Amino acid sequence: MGLHAELHRRSLADPAGFWAEAAEAIDWTRRWDTVLDDSAAPLYRWFTGGELNTCWNALDRHVEGGRADQAAMIYDSPVTGTKRSFTYRELRDETARFAGVLRSLGVEKGDRVILYMPMVPEAAIAMLACARLGAVHSVVFGGFAPHELATRINDAKPKVMVCASCGIEPGRTVAYKPMLDSAIEQATHKPARCVVFQRPQLKADLVPGRDVDWTAAMADAAPADCVPVKATDPLYVLYTSGTTGQPKGVVRDNGGHAVALKWTMQHFYGVKPGEVFWAASDVGWVVGHSYIVYGPLLHGCTTILYEGKPVGTPDAAAYWRVIADHGVVTLFTAPTAFRAIKREDPDGKLLATYDLSKFRALFLAGERSDPDTVQWAERHLKVPVIDHWWQTETGWPIAGNPLGLELFPVKYGSTCKPLPGWDVRILGVDGHEMKRGDIGAIVCKLPLPPGTLPTLWQAEDRFRKSYLSEFPGYYQTADAGFIDDDGYIHVMARTDDIINVAGHRLSTGAMEEVLAGHRDVAECAVIGVADDLKGQVPLGFLVLKAGVNRPHAEICKEVVQKVRDEIGPVAAFKQAIVVDRLPKTRSGKILRGTMQKIADSESWKMPATIDDPAILDEIGQALKSIGYAKAGG
């Protein structure tokens, strides 16, 4: 039995023993009474009775343990032409001082603080400062619309807001403060104070008596010590879009979170303390929480905080430059970033001028990794390219190829095997387990491992209904797929993206794999559109590689034939259109559901997380040109 299989077996047979052992890597101010508390099942808690401080474990422990002068965080901002490095001591001191600022504004253990920040060091410092005080932070992606921010203010009821004067996108500056002011005006809950970090690119007007200047407050602040909290106390609330339009506040606890993230840095990502780890994401997303801020710092790594894009800041070599400049050993990003790089530089020519000798692994997550993109990255980077799968709710990976334990043979289109702690099953609509190879709902048998969501913020009934009710005894991932004969998990689509064509349940993800394999296609999406005869039929959207100038009709004809050849006539795939770009969230997820509503002439709401709203108009026009979106949405 291999190391992964042995650890996975142990983690399911004796979860309390397995995770108690992992918890020895964390500093506790009080040992736990119970490792796995099942007294309120199916609501499980980890390390009940234990006390710790997450900020201590991320910063102070390393300062005292010999890493004081090692780089903790490197800020690299091509959009401002700025680079700045913080040692563990410097980051600890800045964090302690900002915790003092928050404390002077009345923030105490259990209070909420909403952060509305771009990718600047102050965002991570504010998160860690909240953790230091035992306050609960809730990061809202900088630039979110005022209405969406207001709903989060009403739900979290923060005592203090922390915001920057602006965010910087390629070619434009986005004023955050007016949006924050508008959100507070709309909200029924009114935060007592707002701390504003003034960026030199755009100064914000401050509201007298309410707003506090970050720099001035820091100059006067006395540093605050770490406040021990219960393992089961919340560290943060992160809002994810809810199907009802009311966002869901995913709660993350302190104890299980620290244990799980520290464990994954070594055993999954295969990174050692002292090495440079880069998650090219944003602190507004779960990836930014887990693997820009907490995971690398808990493990004693150097983390990169990057304010830029994969292309356009300045070109498609942006990632190679960061890896070379800072000696990055591991990069974690979204497949959409690599599709953008591949589209701009299909032959990987820009790689040649950069020294990537220290680089040893690429991890992809956040959207299905199509085989063509994975193979492109393997070919040009010549390192393992690991597709892995997890969710905002889980906080860390459910499945992936565990570089830190043993590498399994790659199966393109699969996220490999479940990690220790995860008992993944495939269930049919009747709740019975599906046989190997058959598509069904992907679920995880309870209890979930440490670090996963114990509940939703102030919404336990909604937590039960959203995740635990459809398949009692299991966590419902809302993803669909299958497990093959070798135990590999294939996540094919969201359950909403499994389309029903004349009684056949078909995966849009499988069709996207085929389209992405066409030599001219940089990126693609498949949605199910309403059909009077078959119920639904698939429709493909193609974004072509830079420099392709063949007739679009010819390419569409080829991809239709390719799906027929590789999946079969049962797919009923007969139509594709070429578009300039696909609508996405800021984290890179393609907005398939919104596209489908536009195509079917259903009413739809502008998604709060959309990267560029104008794209939906372009999609609507493209759909109208082939006879869809008749009512215009």
Mean pLDDT by 10 residues, the chain (633 residues): 94 98 98 98 98 98 98 98 98 98 98 97 98 97 85 96 95 93 96 98 97 97 98 96 71 98 98 98 94 98 97 96 98 91 94 97 89 94 97 97 96 96 95 94 98 97 95 95 96 74 73 92 92 84 94 95 82 92 85 91 84 88 88 48
Distance CA 342, CA 523 (A): 9
pLDDT of residue 631: 55
Distance CA 424, CA 402 (A): 16
Distance CA 180, CA 134 (A): 24
Distance CA 72, CA 77 (A): 17
pTM for the full model?
0.87
Q: Provide the token pair at 260.
A: 């799980």
The end-to-end CA distance of the chain, in Å, is 55
Strands 302-306 and 276-279, by their bridges, are: parallel
% helix, strand, coil for the chain, step of 5:
35, 25, 40
- CA-based max dimension of the chain: 71
pLDDT of residue 102: 98
**Helix intervals (H) in 54-87:** 54-55, 61-62
pLDDT of residue 562: 92
Strands 34-37 and 193-197, by their bridges, are: unpaired
Q: Between 3.40.50.2300, 3.40.50.720, 3.40.50.12780, 3.30.460.80, what CATH number should domain 3-308+388-481 receive?
A: 3.40.50.12780
Residue type, 626: I
Q: Provide the token pair at 304.
A: 């990169």
Strands 474-483 and 521-531, by their bridges, are: unpaired
Q: Which residues make beta-bridge pairs with 45?
A: 37
Distance CA 349, CA 359 (A): 18
pLDDT of residue 171: 87
pLDDT of residue 633: 42
- Per-domain residue ranges for the chain? 3-308+388-481, 507-625
The length of the chain is: 633
Given its phi and psi angles, is residue 151 left (phi above 0), alpha (psi -120 to 50 degrees) or beta? Answer: alpha
Distance CA 540, CA 551 (A): 17
Distance CA 161, CA 230 (A): 24
Q: Between 3.40.640.10, 3.30.300.30, 3.40.50.300, 3.40.50.720, what CATH number should domain 507-625 receive?
A: 3.30.300.30
Cα angle vertex 302, ends 299, 308, to 5°?
125
Distance CA 507, CA 500 (A): 9
What interhelical angle do 3-13 and 15-23 show, nearest 10? 110
Strands 424-427 and 440-445, by their bridges, are: antiparallel
Distance CA 422, CA 577 (A): 40
Distance CA 48, CA 31 (A): 9
Residue for token digits 């008992």? Answer: 423
For CA atoms 548, 551, 552, 553, the dihedral sign is negative
Closest CA to 287 of 369, 374, 186, 388: 388
Distance CA 160, CA 40 (A): 33
Q: Provide the token pair at 319.
A: 């990632």
Residue type, 587: S
Residue for token digits 């002439």? Answer: 601
Q: Provide the token pair at 210.
A: 């309410």
